[in-house]
Structure 1
Amino acid sequence: MKQTFQLFLAFLLMSTSASAKDYGQALTVRIWDNASAPHSNGIDTPETETEPNRLRNTSDAELYIFPADTSKATGQAVVICPGGGYGLLAIDHEGYEVAQWLAANGITGAVLKYRMPNHHPEVPLEDAEQALRILRGDVPGAEGFTCPKVGIAGFSAGGHLAAMASTIGSVRPDFSILFYPVISAVRGKRHQGTFINLLSTERTPEQDATYSLENRVTEATPPTLLLLSDDDKSVPPVNSTCYYTALKEHGIEASMHIYPKGGHGWGIRKSFRYKEAWQDAVLDWLRRH
């Protein structure tokens, strides 16, 4: 009952007014804050941007919508989860620049400014779930911008969030696109900082197993595209390959592109040698989903 009331309160508080952050979006949807969301992340200090497009201490969840070019519209939308190790959001090359590119190609892009977990792993997940509801039109907030098919994309720790929505979330996306995602908390595979921010340094082996998402794939996990570099030293490629293996073991349609060079965190940067290759791969995959 309490959660139902909190969700109702959040709908009343949801705002489609212009945001203080202007990334060129057509619409900003204020999802909720720590007071109106089902759970709080416990952060009571102001959001900061100590360097351009790097947001820290986020405790207000917002959705920045970039509508599809109407002449090319496919009826698809993608919730985009920027990376940053669950400690910040790299909201440019893993966020609004990706949304702009998708929109130009007929796919509505919606960048999720999710709340940092601050050791509350349910917090970013409930933000992602609510973003999916909004873009589907299941709850108010994005009238005129909703789409019949809504997927999710994520980069690095944002990839972990997208994979959480795809495996343990209560609102499943129609498809997921994971860029060099954090998946596993297993020693030797994990990106330690991500799991410290998500769960803490004092987490238990049981928590590590719960949030190692290769363990959480089911027959209900949506079709998935993975993109990564072979020489990624930050998030070992085994994160993607173990997730791909789990998808195939459960009969889930999946595809994976491993580029020989590029390291970690390239997003939509022009400096990434295989930028056009991954863009072609994503658009080709989306045409079939």
Structure 2
Amino acid sequence: MLIYTHTLPGGAQLIGYLRDRTVEMPAFNTRPAILILPGGGYAWCSKREADPVAMQFLQAGYNVFTLYYTCRSDETVPALRWQPLIDAAGAILHIRRNAEQFGIDPAKIAICGFSAGGHLAASTAILWDAEPVQTALGIHGTEARPDAVVLGYPVITAGKYRHDGSLVNLCGDDADLRATMSLENQVRDGLPPFFVWHTVEDPSVPVQNSLMLAGALTAHKVPLELHLFAHDGHGTSTCTREVNTPNKHNSAWVALCTDWLAETFDFHL
């Protein structure tokens, strides 16, 4: 296995876990990839939503990347605005442009995010062609668009059910930018398929975030799988003892997701 590291132009760190090519398994020398975006309110990137998640998808046969995108850890500095999205879209672009080197199918790149990282993953799927992103990356096509989206307890709305910390760190008091980043209002036809899971009891990012997104995706006939679990809080990651949130029932999201991805990408071990 190759551990790959790369610093994107804005300073974000990309870490990849790439399976070795073999003569014994030639049918799997090219694999789908998944890019993981940990949560942390756009203030930091949670380690609990990084490697533990990456190992699950690596075990399922994917080449896996984790992006430590630009965050606002110091409240005295300006809001992040478009930089995290430029980081995430730039990571998709980098993976796709180097797909042959990485042993990746360039048409099978998924993005997976949790909490604020879920907002960023959804933003990448919905706003990949926004002018600030395309200008920063110097592109005009679909190179930065992911092919599938996985969201765990995502921040979605800037409205009533918003997560204040995430929106403040991302947008500050810019009302127009907040409106743009209220993703339930940006959904359109032709988006990649979504897999979304959330807990109904989430006290930090209300389940309405996922419900509002699901309603918008359904209205635009975007393929969607939505799972709501009755109990447990926020930031539960893989729902195991490793990440300090053991819940055997909720941990089923991992198997449900890998099954969904296998069907979405027609990738079966």
TM-score range, shorter chain: 0.7 to 0.9
- Residue equivalent to 1:190: 162
For residues 142 and 125 of structure 1, do their structure 2 counterparts lie closer, same or farther at Cα, with a shift above 3 Å needed? farther
Q: Secondary structure at the match of 2:5?
A: strand
For residues 124 and 25 of structure 1, do their structure 2 counterparts lie closer, same or farther at Cα, with a shift above 3 Å needed? farther
CA contact (8 A) 1:81 1:153 kept: yes
Tell me, yes or no, if structure 1 residue 176 matches structure 2 residue 149: yes
CA contact (8 A) 2:238 2:251 kept: no
Shift of 1:284: 1.0
Q: Deviations along 1:34-55, whole A, 9 cap, x unmatched?
A: xxxxxxxxxxxxxxxxxxxxxx
Alignment of 1:5-84 (within 5 A): 26-33=3-10, 60-68=11-19, 73=28, 75-84=31-40
| Letter of the structure 2 residue corresponding to residue 249 of structure 1 | A
- Residue equivalent to 1:119: 79
CA contact (8 A) 2:229 2:250 kept: no
Question: Which ranges in structure 2 are unaligned for 5 or more consecutive residues?
Answer: 73-77, 130-143, 241-245, 265-269
CA contact (8 A) 1:167 1:217 kept: yes
Shift of 1:30: 1.6
Tell me, yes or no, if structure 1 residue 214 matches structure 2 residue 166: no
| Letter of the structure 1 residue corresponding to residue 70 of structure 2 | R
| Letter of the structure 1 residue corresponding to residue 5 of structure 2 | T
Among 80, 91, 101, which residue is 1:143 paired with? 101
Among 43, 46, 57, which residue is 1:90 paired with? 46
- Residue equivalent to 2:93: 133
State the Cα RMSD in Å: 2.1
Moved more, 254-263 or 206-215: 206-215
Tell me, yes or no, if structure 1 residue 268 matches structure 2 residue 224: no
CA contact (8 A) 2:18 2:102 kept: no
CA contact (8 A) 1:152 1:173 kept: yes
Higher relative CO (Cα under 8 Å, sequence separation at least 6) belongs to 2
- Residue equivalent to 1:108: 63
Q: Secondary structure at the match of 2:102?
A: coil
In 2: Cα distance, 1:146 partner to 1:225 partner: 21
TM-score w.r.t. structure 1 length?
A: 0.76
Q: Secondary structure at the match of 2:187?
A: coil
Percent identical? 33
- Residue equivalent to 1:36: none
CA contact (8 A) 2:154 2:209 kept: yes
For residues 278 and 228 of structure 1, do their structure 2 counterparts lie closer, same or farther at Cα, with a shift above 3 Å needed? same
In 1: Cα distance, 2:19 partner to 2:238 partner: 18
- Residue equivalent to 2:243: none
- Residue equivalent to 1:232: 202
- Residue equivalent to 2:258: 283
- Residue equivalent to 2:132: none
CA contact (8 A) 2:239 2:251 kept: no
Q: Secondary structure at the match of 1:225?
A: strand
CA contact (8 A) 1:65 1:109 kept: yes
More helix per residue: 2
Q: Deviations along 1:98-157, whole A, 9 cap, x unmatched?
A: 112211110111000101155132101011111111211x2x598234333101000000
For residues 269 and 167 of structure 1, do their structure 2 counterparts lie closer, same or farther at Cα, with a shift above 3 Å needed? same
Q: Secondary structure at the match of 1:242?
A: helix
| Letter of the structure 1 residue corresponding to residue 259 of structure 2 | D
Shift of 1:272: 2.8
Shift of 1:239: 0.2
TM-score w.r.t. structure 2 length?
A: 0.81
Q: Secondary structure at the match of 1:214?
A: helix
